[in-house]
Amino acid sequence: MITKSKGSGPNTIRVTFEIPPYLWANTVHLVGDFNDWRLDAMPLEHLDDSGWQITLELERNQSYQYRYLLDGSDWANDSNADRYVHNPFGGENSVIDT
């Protein structure tokens, strides 16, 4: 699930990325445009029975491509993304529009 809310300033928006608890992994990282696709930059917090979660403050009126990296090797898209675009590796990236 993706939740968008008011950011700290007029040009920002808070976005919470959540993965359900039934997705099994030891680690989950959010990887995308907003962190130059760095694989280890944004670990999601494991919330016991609630799954995984991270909240970012992003610039408004932008589109960001992203994916989830599970256990450092498996890629997953967000089923609640605003849309999807093809990536150069033959798959798709999730996109969030702020």
Provide the domain limits for residue 21: 2-97
Q: What tens digit of pLDDT does each residue of 17-65 get?
A: 999 888 788 999 999 999 999 999 999 999 877 789 999 999 999 999 9
Distance of CA 91 to the CA centre of its chain: 16
> Percent of the chain beyond pLDDT 90?
86
Question: Mean pLDDT throughout 67-88?
Answer: 95
The answer to whether 74 touches 26, Cβ cutoff 8 Å, is no
Place of tokens 């996109």: 95
How many Cα atoms are found within 13 Å in the side-chain-facing hemisphere of 44? 29
User: Looking at residue 59, which CATH number applies to its domain?
Assistant: 2.60.40.10
Number of domains in the chain: 1
